[in-house]
Amino acid sequence: MKKTALFALVVICFQTFCLPLQQSFAQDVKTLAATDLPDSHVYLEKAMKNSRPDHSRQIEALLKKMTLEEKVGQMTQLALVMIVSGRDQNVKADPEKLEKAIVKYGVGSILNVSDQALTVDKWREIIGEIQNASAKTRLKIPNIYGIDSIHGANYVRGATLFPQQIGMAATWNPILMQKASEITAMETRAAAIPWTFSPVLDLGRQPLWARYWETFGEDAYLAKVMGAAFVRGIEGNDLKSENHVAASLKHYVGYSMPLTGRDRTPAWIPENYMREYFLPPFETAVKSGARTVMVNSAEVNGIPGHVNKYLLTDVLKNEYKFDGFVVSDWEDIKKLVTFWKIAKDEKEATMMAINAGIDMSMVPADYSFADYTIQLVREKKIPMTRIDDAVRRILRVKYELGLFENPMPSESAKNNFGKAEYAQYSLEAARESLVLLKNQNNILPLPKNKKVLVTGPTADSLISLNNGWTWVWQGSEESLYPNKPTIQKAIEQKLGGKNFEFVQGTKITRPPNTPSNGTPTDIDVEVDVKKAVEEAKDSDVVVLCLGEGSYTETPGNITDLTLSETQLRFAEAIIATGKPVILVMVEGRPRIINRIADKVSGILLALNPSSEGGTAIADVLFGDYNPNGKLPFTYPRNPNNLIMYDHKLFETEETGFGNAANKAQFDFGTGLSYTTISYSNLRLSSKSLPMDGELTVSVDVKNTGNRGGKESAILYLRDEYATMAPAGKRVKRFAKVSLNAGQTKTLTFKLNKDDFSFVGMNGKPVLEAGDFTVTIGGLSDKFTLK
């Protein structure tokens, strides 16, 4: 065939098959992006409607056949290193280790990676060996493999990554969250992994915390909605489907509120605050169908999470009717002895944890849990009824996942991995997650004919765009990242290589062989500051990219939220050139920037928007996308001024207590746009309501600008006085809508007694008569509950 004819044939094939397929992908993403969320509560109520098949008959029949040793084996979870040899991509199942774990001990679950993310085929090879070994056991009970798919299937090479949860919270878009989770589930199950240790439902109310970026922010209601969306996307309506996996809610409960801000340290949370703030996201996710729960590694009110029978059994299992299983976190039963000192030895700790409600122990590196549990049952220190209850729960999830029928997904499940359109969904999520915090004199969007200098430690870093849980635990292995554009590369592409200059300036580095011992590992170093300053003088505008590297858990502990002195000095040197500066903060927690915030012309916040974040940031900076993200937390101005949005009113007012200066750098819900949005015609269905009445709230939202955009409308409610000092305001509903230039949409919400009540000192809801204020979009109106 002649080359011209061959070329013509290729073109015809592309136009006939590939182009329509690409266009349909783009149309699907465009449709999703344009889908309105008219009322968060309607979405939430729908998410909590789910049903599951009843496998009780099969479970009870199997349970009767099981020996004590087989039951305890199901309660045991070991790390992958216990059954493999080799490293990195050369890791493989070790027959001798596998025989001991699966056949001798009957271990019911394996977790984690050996060193780094593996390919789909390598995962299927290893898990296939595990399931084959399980099939050789007396009762042939399949294994359940668990992994941390935190922001995508991040331990599967080539998987699609999405913004971290704090970024997804900034979208205020549960529809998008659900779609991201659906893709995550498909790519996780394609690798033969049926269980993910996500979502994180801890509240982000302590910004020092190293896992702050893994949360949905500081508000319980937003976390409830986004958490339910995550669960529905991950689990779907049929866990047996090769499109879904089991979720694990973590870290139950109160883990995210350490007094010191340091990971795995004590929290003090009164019962009424626990039920008002920290428990609701978990309760809602349980009602949304979540099948497993992972436990808080720390302690609350002096009681370590792993022995808190009140929270694990009385509340979670009995009050919330949770019938899935509870898994410990990494080595946390052992830590009851070594860290928390509440047991004299591991055997006693094992007894305490199981009797409190732990169903499966993430041991993870020896067989002590199984040995001690068998001894304790025989000594009648753990009742057989407790063992049977734990195993019944574990078997229920395995049946619901279809593992007894198909312990391995079909080869065709791999077709769900790495589809072209997934990257477009990730890009849309990254775009919606970006929050424009400052736009002085409408300096943004930038024109493409101006000379731009891009500089700073996060300008050329995929690591900063992603953070931890990315290919490796700490997200720190740059060589594993895909070929995606960083911020500076995306801007260079946007400008066609013209009017563009990149100078590193400073760099975030991690010294080689840094131990993960709870100390900060990243350091900021100057690279070519003088060159950056000189280039700034010769530019029309500077895009200054600051922020953080990657971290999670104890390696991310810090003692001061203030941005590093190296970065601040560099920023001040750039600002001193007199050129307009656009500050892009790439971070997972709000680092203090009060020294420079008032001196820059624009501020764009990028909350770990993933590997598509570079493209998304360039799109926003140059006006190819209209930003619409809003802060899911309060951005502090000072390191000792960590105030939440729902503080008491007097805390930020001059009322004789000297609190007028107690102001945030940026308030919760802040987020600018390139268009203008106005609210009008706020209407309440009644100004007087009976105690069990329902209030309808309506408001008109109009795009008064000259370009289309999206708006997240947040409805707040304030109880004007109560027998317990009320919050200044609380989020009760929200909506996210697309508005063309000049378009108006009417939003309608319904509030009821659950919204009007608060949790009293006895831990029960309290509904009181009195005055309430509804606020949305700067408009307010009052009603009275009688």
Would you call 480 helix, strand, or coil by DSSP?
Answer: helix
Helical spans, DSSP H, in 136-279: 165-171, 174-190, 220-235, 271-273
Please indicate whether residue 329 is annotated as part of the active site. Answer: yes
First to last CA, the chain: 86
Nearest to 250 by CA among 286, 205, 287: 286
Amino acid found at 238 = D
Among left, alpha and beta (phi > 0; psi -120 to 50; other), residue 590 is: beta
Rounded to whole angstroms, the Cα distance separating 339 from 352 reads: 15
Rounded to whole angstroms, the Cα distance separating 276 from 202 reads: 13
* Burial class of residue 56 (count of CB atoms within 10 Å of its CB; 0-12, 13-18, 19+): exposed
CA-based torsion, 167, 169, 171, 176: positive or negative? positive
Residue with tokens 């979502």: 199
Would you call 514 helix, strand, or coil by DSSP?
Answer: coil
Pairing of strands 452-455, 541-547: parallel
| E runs forming strands in 347-485 | 361-362, 435-439, 452-455
Rounded to whole angstroms, the Cα distance separating 221 from 218 reads: 9
Amino acid found at 629 = G
Q: Which two tokens stand for residue 301?
A: 């009110």
Rounded to whole angstroms, the Cα distance separating 664 from 313 reads: 39
Nearest to 306 by CA among 314, 315, 296: 296
- Whether the CB-CB separation of 610 and 426 falls below 8 Å is answered with yes
Q: Which two tokens stand for residue 599?
A: 């001196």
In what helix (H) or strand (E) does residue 748 lie, and over which residues does it extend?
A: strand 744-751
The catalytic residue among 39, 263, 329, 359 is: 329
Rounded to whole angstroms, the Cα distance separating 116 from 334 reads: 25
Amino acid found at 718 = R
* Burial class of residue 320 (count of CB atoms within 10 Å of its CB; 0-12, 13-18, 19+): middle
**Residues marked as catalytic:** 329
